[in-house]
Amino acid sequence: MNTEKNKKIEDILSSLDGVGRVSAPDFFYTRLKARMERELVPEPKRSWILKPVFAFSALVLILAVNAVLIFSEAKPATSVAETDYIQSAASAYSINTNLTYEINQLP
């Protein structure tokens, strides 16, 4: 039994006798070294956003958009005549907001 195991082990080890040394392709180490050096160099950062010219222009743009929105949304105040007309129409048609609450109150 022990001899059979030894024979199998010897067969397996002898199968590796024909294996030769592996060689790298031409210029492999040169390309590898260049790649490693290229990875050591940090990529340039996009710091152009933080430059004062761009920050100031972005601030001016945002303020301009805000000003346009504020002044375009401003509604002119209703005139006295319009207010009187609305109140007279509401009283003519009994559209008083307080009337509903007065009717629904329990004594």
Confidence of residue 90 (pLDDT cuts 50, 70, 90): confident
Mean pLDDT, to the nearest integer, of 14-43? Answer: 85
- Per-chain mean pLDDT for the chain: 80
Residue 38 has phi, psi (to 5 degrees) of: -65, -35
pTM of the prediction? 0.31
Coil, strand or helix: which one is 74? Answer: coil
The Cα–Cα gap between 83 and 89 comes to 10
pLDDT tens for 39-86 read: 887 777 776 667 788 889 999 999 999 999 888 866 666 677 787 888
Q: In degrees to the nearest 10, what's the CA dihedral of 47, 48, 53, 54?
A: -100
Q: In the chain, pLDDT over 90 holds for what percent of residues?
A: 18
Whether the CB-CB separation of 96 and 90 falls below 8 Å is answered with yes
